[in-house]
Structure 1
Amino acid sequence: MPTRLDSGKYGHLLAETLPAIVTSDAEYDRLVAVMNKLAVMPEDRITLEQERLLEMITLLVEKYDDEQYPIPVAPPHEVIQFLKQDRGLRNRDLEPLLGSRGVTSEVIRGKRKPSHTQIKKLAEFFKISPEVFISLD
């Protein structure tokens, strides 16, 4: 694959696709269709110009998603309660991560914020970003 962008080919792709900031569901659907078409192309067949177009469209689509469908931030104890229930865990299953029975109970009920060490252990255990366990208040 060439390592240098062909401005003529790229310009043609841009003119053909007309990517722009997404302001409507119709524009979103159109760009998602283009994105999906490019995303399934075999690696040995996609051009550098197509890869760059895919990157741009992906950013435009993600920006619209983030603006239209924001993910609400939940307090750490609610995240822990959800994950605990979702995975069929009990409080005592989290004691090795959080500490004693009393501390575990306080963290799960929201009476105590998880410490940095506890956050790290929870993130590793549940295989998710530590950010979800950080309280914003």
Structure 2
Amino acid sequence: MNVPIDVKRLLPIWEHFRAATDIAPIRDEAHYARMTEMLEALLDETQGDEAHPAMGLVDIVGDLIEDYEAEHHPLPEATGVQALKFLMEQHGLKQSDLTEIGSQGVVSEILTGKRELNIRQVRALSERFGVSAASFV
């Protein structure tokens, strides 16, 4: 059942919402800071509940921030080993904690560049850290 879109009714609501939130493509660093603050407040409100009514707004604000960051704050390309080292540091892990990719010796060889990660190890790391397998390739 398609309900026709009543643009004349929606525009005043949109203008009120936009004025209250400043939601729009991010223009500058000050606007970026406001959108980041809004995203943090929305995430606090939703508490990770995917069914929360504000999750759609979380997605929109997150996309606006992501677009701005991609253009104005690009991340340097990282190697798979650099990504692994970063994630180990963030999670307080030692080489011996990564048993899903091999012994401590195997992990050491990977981290020093003497050995490449294989596809099984990449998949295991992707699952463990909840990141794209591309992070380790």
* Fold agreement, TM-score > 0.5: yes
2:130, 2:97 → 1: CA distance?
16
Alignment partner of 1:107 is 2:110: yes
Give the superposition deviation at 1:121: 0.5
1:20–1:128: structure 2 CA closer, same or farther, 3 Å change rule? closer
Q: Which amino acid aligns with 1:66?
A: A
Q: Which amino acid aligns with 1:67?
A: E
CA RMSD in angstroms comes to 3.7
Stretches of structure 2 lacking an aligned partner (at least 5 in a row): 46-51
Give the superposition deviation at 1:120: 0.7
The answer for the alignment partner of 1:68 in structure 2 is 72
Alignment partner of 1:121 is 2:90: no
TM-score (normalizing by structure 2): 0.60
2:82, 2:115 → 1: CA distance?
12
Stretches of structure 1 lacking an aligned partner (at least 5 in a row): none
1:128, 1:118 → 2: CA distance?
13
The answer for the alignment partner of 2:85 in structure 1 is 81
The answer for the alignment partner of 2:48 in structure 1 is none
Moved more, 3-12 or 65-74: 3-12
Of the two, which has the highest radius of gyration? Answer: 1
1:28–1:100: structure 2 CA closer, same or farther, 3 Å change rule? closer
How big is each residue's C-alpha offset from its partner over 1:90-131, in whole Å with a ceiling of 9 and x where there is no partner? 22222x322344432221212222111101101222233322
Using CA pairs below 8 Å that are at least 6 residues apart, which structure has the higher relative contact order?
1
Give the superposition deviation at 1:15: 4.3
The answer for the alignment partner of 1:131 in structure 2 is 134
2:92 alignment partner, SS class: coil
Q: Which amino acid aligns with 1:117?
A: R
1:118 alignment partner, SS class: helix
Q: Which amino acid aligns with 2:131?
A: I
TM-score (normalizing by structure 1): 0.60
The answer for the alignment partner of 1:7 in structure 2 is 7
